[in-house]
Every structure is written in structure tokens, then in C-alpha cells.
Amino acid sequence: MIRNIIPTSSIFKSYDIRGIYPDEINEDNIYLITQSILKFFQDQAKNTNVKVGVSHDMRLSAPKLYPGALQALKDGGACVWNFDLLSTPTFYFAVSHNNLPFGFILSASHNSPRYTGFKIVTNINNKIIKVGKNSGLDTIKKYSISGLKNKHTGGVIIERESILKDEVDSALSKVDISKIKPIKIVVDAANAMGSLYIEELFSRLPCKLVKMNFNLDGSFPAHDPNPLVDKNLIDVRKKVVEVGADLGIAPDGDGDRIIFIDENGEKIPASFLGSLIIKKLLQRYKGATIMFSVTEILTPRSITEEMGGKFIITPVGHTHITNLMHQSNALFAGEISGHYFFKDTGGTESGVFTIVNVLEILSSLAKPISQLIHDVRRSFASGEYNFSTDKADIIMERLKSDYKSGSLMTIDGIAVDYPTWRFSVRSSNTEPLIRLNVEARTQEGMKVKLNELINKIKALGAKKHND
């Protein structure tokens, strides 16, 4: 079956390119999409013979699509560094470590097996810039739907060896490995890319690793590789308790998000886990800048201020956060989806660096992870509640009016702060949904305000959405 080689505009999202294989991204349009990405790179370099680092994840569509992407780059005159199979954070490291100016990974993050896509980056002075809607993706979209032809001579494909060893070496050089004790850790890799860097990392450490679903399988036979969905954490939570582990870890499909589980089998909110890392980093880097996304900030902000750091609130989204990190020279950033960003890794997420920091903290302080989280906790958070609606703007305007006595922020939807509690409501970038988060200094206060806001939003016509 021959499909239209011109891709639909719907695959170009806010942060990346993503679509269903083979309906939206397939063997017939991968060439054109890739040549359009290359044209954007060539525009940036003002040169056709650019170096481009590329890799892919373990999805079943990758062997069918990746050769076409490589050929498109070669035909367009690029010098292609082919890293083959990598997690997304390892791909970021490969681009930065080799000082490559451009790159992309063929991946669909945590989405179900039928999806594929591209995450695209540029690299300036070892600062990774993620290409999103407002930083080049609209240009790539324009080239793609116009049927661009991008032919130049001089293209070549260079096969590169695995860079996992270098990535782990780099992460371990930045912590005191002698402090890491033989603690027991359960990891559910969801048959996805995080298993690669987990295997390499723990082969160097004295920890006891209990592995779950480590065989790469793009059909995801155990469960979808999205650790934000509670049902996908059931098995790892049970296993942590069953084997008496000190910690559980659940990376997402491409390994750039990580959810942690405490020794009691309870999920650790990312804002609290991030606060542990913030406290550790600010002990060493006095007065540094820390960032966290607008949806959940009370505990990270409190810890940052207590430690003498500077705190900046960001919009949600990895492209926004990485770019803002470079602008503010921030040391660390996080968001509630389990993305943790480090200055030391070019402003990108690093599963390896996140894990080694947590292991060093857990080993050095010699307390259960649940106690360490309790010690940094300064607030109680609802987690994210989603509502289906086509009236997002109307609902947010009404909430702005009803809560006008609070301090309003509009960097991403609306966020309203009061002395003892706050909430944020933002629209999804991909679905007709709005997302609600509520925080308060007390658990009872959070529950009261959460119920209040749920009732208000439902009264305005939105329906609670089942994720």
C-alpha cells in the first residue's frame, strides 16, 4: 500500500513530532520528514554538510523507519553519526559529549506501541536546545507539508559504538561513589529503553539490583511504559515490599522520566524527590538557581529558600525548561512528571545522574527513603486531576474571577497563590483537557480546596477524565 508522502500537520506537536505508525508516520513519509528536519539544521548552520547525531528506541516500527531516515540524511548531504539504539537521555549525552551541533532520536517517549516520532535538538556550547513549536518545529512542519526536496552531495553515515560506558563514567565522576552502600533496588524497566543505562550503571555499583521487565520489547507485554499511570506501578510497588527493597525505580518508555517508590511500596511525588536532590546540590553549590514547573512548587521552593538558593517557576514542558535553564544558568530543574534536568548534563534530563544522586543521598544519610521524604516535605499535593472540556478559556476566566484575592500567575494557564495553599489549571497541549493541581501546607487544607475546585470546574461543564 502506497500512502501519501506528505505528512499530516497533526503530527507536529508542541514539543516534538509524534504520530501513529503506520497511519500518520510510515515508510512513505519518513524520508520527507527527515529531509525537512535536516533542512532546518542546514538553515541554522548556513551549510549543507552538517554533522547530525541520530538514534532510535526499541519500538517495533523502528527497524522499518530508521533506514529511511538515515538515507534521507545522507541524500541531503549530512555527515551522520549513527548511534543506533539509545535511550533519550543517553542520546542527549551522545550529542553533547561528541560536541555534535544537531541531532534527533526516533522515539515516542511513554506512548503505547502504535506510536512513533522524533525528538529533535541543537547543541550550542554543550547546551542542548530542544526544538519545539516556537524554536523550529513550525519551520520543519512548513517544509514537510510543502513536499520539500533536499538533495546535496557529500553525505556519509558513520557507525558509532555504544556510548553508555561514557555516560555512566560521567555521572559517577560527579558523585562520591565510595559513599554508595549495597542497598537493594527494584527496577521495572517496562521492556523499554531505561533498562540499558540501568544495567550499565548497576554493573559498577555495590547495590543489589532486582530486575523486572528488562528485555527490550516494543510491544510492551508487561504494561504500557508510562509510570504516571498508577496501574503501571502495581507490580513494582508489590515487588519492593515482597523483596524488602530500599527503593523502587520505574523509568518511562524512552528513559527520560523516572518515578521512585519508597521502601513501603508508596509512590514518591516528583516534587518531593526533586527536593531531596535540591537540598543535596545546594549544600555544595551555595546560592545556585533552582527551577520547578508551575504545577507543584511549594516544597521545592521552600527547600530552595531554606538552603539559600534562588527559585524560578517555569511553564510545563521539557523544551521550555531546558531553554530557560540555559537563560538563567540554573543548576537543576524538575517537574511533577518525573523529568529531572541538570546543568551538568547540558540542561537535559539524565536518568543516570538522577539515580546516582538519589543513591548517594540514601547511602550517606542512612535513613529509609520514606523518612528522607518526610524530612523535606513542606506541603501536601493533590496530584494531577484531568477534566474533558472544550471551554478551557471560559473556565479559567471564571476561576481567575472567583480567586481574584490570590496572587495570579499566567505563565502556563493560571496559577493562584495564597499564603497557605495554591492551585494551577492549565490546558493540555495535545487533548481537549484541562489539568488541575492543588497544594497546601496541611493535608486537610489541600483536600478541602481540591474538592472545592473540582466542584467548581464540574459546575462549569467539564467532566472528570479517566486517564
pLDDT tens digits along 216-241: 999 999 999 999 999 999 999 999 99
Torsion of CA 57, 61, 65, 66, to 10 degrees: 20
The pLDDT assigned to 358 comes to 97
Of the candidates 156, 161, 191, the one whose C-alpha atom is nearest the C-alpha of residue 85 is 161
The band of 416, judged by pLDDT with boundaries at 50, 70 and 90, is very high
Pairing of strands 247-251, 184-188: parallel
Instruction: Please check whether residue 416 is in contact with residue 407, taking contact to mean a CB–CB distance below 8 angstroms.
Output: yes
How far apart CA 324 and CA 34 sit, in angstroms, is: 27
Tell me how long the chain is: 467
pLDDT at 54 over 60: yes
How far apart CA 46 and CA 44 sit, in angstroms, is: 6
4 Rama class: left (phi>0) / alpha (psi -120 to 50) / beta: beta
Of the candidates 234, 178, 170, 166, the one whose C-alpha atom is nearest the C-alpha of residue 206 is 178
Amino acid at 303: I
Q: Where are the beta strands (DSSP E) in 389-454?
A: 407-409, 414-417, 421-427, 433-440
Note the pLDDT tens digit of each residue in 259-302.
999 999 999 999 999 999 999 999 999 999 999 999 999 999 99
Q: How many CB atoms lie within 10 A of CB 101?
A: 17
Amino acid at 430: T
How far apart CA 122 and CA 102 sit, in angstroms, is: 4
68 Rama class: left (phi>0) / alpha (psi -120 to 50) / beta: alpha
By annotation, the residues acting in catalysis are 109
The pLDDT assigned to 430 comes to 67
- Looking at the chain, the whole-number percentage of residues with pLDDT higher than 90 is 93
The pLDDT assigned to 466 comes to 64
The pLDDT assigned to 465 comes to 82
Q: Where are the beta strands (DSSP E) in 384-432?
A: 385-388, 407-409, 414-417, 421-427
Span 337-348, mean pLDDT? 96
The band of 1, judged by pLDDT with boundaries at 50, 70 and 90, is low
Note the pLDDT tens digit of each residue in 127-143.
999 999 989 999 999 99
The pLDDT assigned to 132 comes to 93
Of the candidates 387, 395, 449, 393, the one whose C-alpha atom is nearest the C-alpha of residue 422 is 449
The pLDDT assigned to 2 comes to 52
User: Cell numbers 532520536 label which residue?
Assistant: 105
Question: How remote is the C-alpha of 231 from its chain's centroid?
Answer: 20
Q: In this structure, what C-alpha cell is assigned to residue 212? A: 523486572
Of the candidates 372, 384, 382, 379, the one whose C-alpha atom is nearest the C-alpha of residue 262 is 372
Domains of the chain listed by start with CATH number: 9-162 (3.40.120.10), 173-266 (3.40.120.10), 270-376 (3.40.120.10), 380-464 (3.30.310.50)
Amino acid at 452: E
Span 374-388, mean pLDDT? 97
Span 399-414, mean pLDDT? 98
pLDDT at 348 over 60: yes
The band of 347, judged by pLDDT with boundaries at 50, 70 and 90, is very high
Note the pLDDT tens digit of each residue in 7-16.
999 999 988 9
Q: How many CB atoms lie within 10 A of CB 458?
A: 13
pLDDT at 429 over 90: no
Terminal-residue alpha carbon distance, the chain: 34
Total-model pTM: 0.96
Average pLDDT, the chain: 96
Q: In this structure, what C-alpha cell is assigned to residue 54? A: 541520530
Note the pLDDT tens digit of each residue in 81-115.
999 999 999 999 999 999 999 999 999 999 999 99
Which residues make beta-bridge pairs with 55?
84, 105
